[in-house]
Amino acid sequence: MTPWLNTTPNPDFSIYNLPFGIFSTEELSPRAGIAIGDQIVDLCEMGQQGYFADLGFDSWVFEQKTLNRFIGLGKKTTNKVRIRVQEWLCDEASPLAKHPAGLVAQSDVQMHLPVRVGDYTDFYSSIEHATNVGMMFRDPENALLPNWKHIPVGYHGRASSIIPSGIPIHRPKGQLMPKGADKPVYKASGRLDFELEMAFIIGKENELGEPVSTSEAEDYIFGMVVFNDWSARDIQKWEYVPLGPFLGKNFASSASPWVVTMEALAPFRVQGPAQDPPVLPYLEYEGLHNYDIHLSVSIETEDGTDNVVSQSNYKYMYWNMLQQLAHHTVNGCNMRIGDMLASGTISGKDASAYGSMLEISWSGSKPITLADGSTRTFIEDNDTVIMKGHAEKDGMRVGFGEVRTKVLPAK
């Protein structure tokens, strides 16, 4: 497929991708669009011109501030929209080519959170990450807890504090226990950390009391974003027993603004890690359901210097999305359109692929040196953390763009 539109070389947003997002400009209200190279196809504008009328839905869905209504039309319809835009971009005589107002430069827009997130769940599904944490804080010989290879461990997070790329966060404050102290103190976190994750977005609802099986789960997953689940490790360490993450996690999570569909990611399916011992029947699945998605994290210092600190891959995940969704709903929990389910920190086989500063600095014992000569064990004020992801194969590139977040001093 060759688009007639002149775009940036080797873009994340290729003709094979065409992710959905919500954008606005000084003149245009928030609306749905599709990214292609350095441009955006304004679905609202094209819908108002009647170019989707024959697909049997009201183009009003493109005028909304989130994609929820559009996603709720179902994959049969959302796929038709994506394919139609793909056809337009490959046809110089298409309605899009004849209607310049249907294209907007990405450099002129503000991106928004693509969906209204009703509920957010964070999993803990990288065996490398779980093993590293277990080695640091428990028994190096028995790093994994007894349940880890039997269930996709997860917890319910805070949906209200999920923010899009570009929105800064303030260093969180909370209660923590200083080393050697006999009582806790209230102060700003000194161990602010990123977590390299991906999140999938629910595109179909199940009724309360009706589990979603692994054979059905794929139909419930609309697409994916890159996800930074920020963590205050010192606050988390003091509070997490006995009920798990709370203030150490709920202050912010950052998501990339473009939702890459599962159809665009289909060519990049790969076999996941062998699961031993065998899983219970409700977690069994058939086919390839891991994805070869290259991921990177960099720290941009205040002077603008970019320092790559991690290069990992989503294919390493021990528990896949089908198993996560099946486990989440096996008790009858109901999913809603727009819900986000995050992977948990994605770490690889060696230190270059660790997905958090907790691992990279080995809980602060191994500082890393950046290009400007400064060192880091965790994230400092005025650092900007940038995460990127893309899949590439046989001349096809499907990327997520980036999720970029600057850390401001505590209020």
User: What pLDDT score was predicted for residue 408?
Assistant: 98
Place of tokens 């769940």: 121
User: What pLDDT score was predicted for residue 184?
Assistant: 97
| Residue 10 pLDDT exceeds 90 | no
- Chain segment 342-395, per-residue pLDDT in tens: 999 999 999 999 999 999 999 999 999 999 999 999 999 999 999 999 999 999
| CATH architecture under which domain 120-408 falls | Alpha-Beta Complex (3.90)
Residues of the chain with CATH 3.90.850.10: 120-408
Window from 1-15, 60-74, 208-222, 309-323 with minimum mean pLDDT: 1-15
- Chain segment 202-252, per-residue pLDDT in tens: 999 999 999 999 999 999 999 999 999 999 999 999 999 999 999 999 999
Name the band, by pLDDT with cuts 50, 70 and 90, for residue 149: very high
As annotated, the active-site residues are 129
Tokens of 239: 């509070």
| Residue 9 pLDDT exceeds 80 | no
CATH fold for domain 20-112: SH3 type barrels. (2.30.30)
Residues of the chain with CATH 2.30.30.230: 20-112
Judged by DSSP in three states, 102 sits in helix
Establish whether the linkage from the previous residue to 242 is cis, with ω within 30° of 0: yes
Mean pLDDT of 146-165: 98
For 86, the enclosing helix (H) or strand (E) is helix 75-89
- Percent pLDDT > 70 in the chain is 100
User: What pLDDT score was predicted for residue 6?
Assistant: 81
C-alpha gyration radius of the chain: 21
Outline where DSSP puts E strands in 25-144: 31-36, 39-42, 103-105, 110-112, 120-123
The DSSP 8-state label assigned to residue 45 in this structure reads H
User: What pLDDT score was predicted for residue 348?
Assistant: 96
| Residue 61 pLDDT exceeds 90 | yes
Summary mean pLDDT of the chain: 97
Cβ neighbours of residue 242 closer than 8 Å, sequence gap 6 or more: none
Cβ neighbours of residue 351 closer than 8 Å, sequence gap 6 or more: 359, 360
Tokens of 70: 């559009």
- Chain segment 278-320, per-residue pLDDT in tens: 999 999 999 999 999 999 999 999 999 999 999 999 999 999 9
CA gap 70, 210 in Å, rounded? 24
Look at 47 and 138; give whichever has higher pLDDT: 47
Does residue 283 contact residue 254 with C-beta atoms inside 8 Å?
no
User: What pLDDT score was predicted for residue 8?
Assistant: 79
Q: Which of 108, 88, 99, 29 is nearest to 62 (CA)?
A: 29
User: What pLDDT score was predicted for residue 129?
Assistant: 98
Mean pLDDT of 47-72: 97
Kind of pairing between the strands at 269-270 and 154-156: unpaired
- Chain segment 28-57, per-residue pLDDT in tens: 999 999 999 999 999 999 999 999 999 999
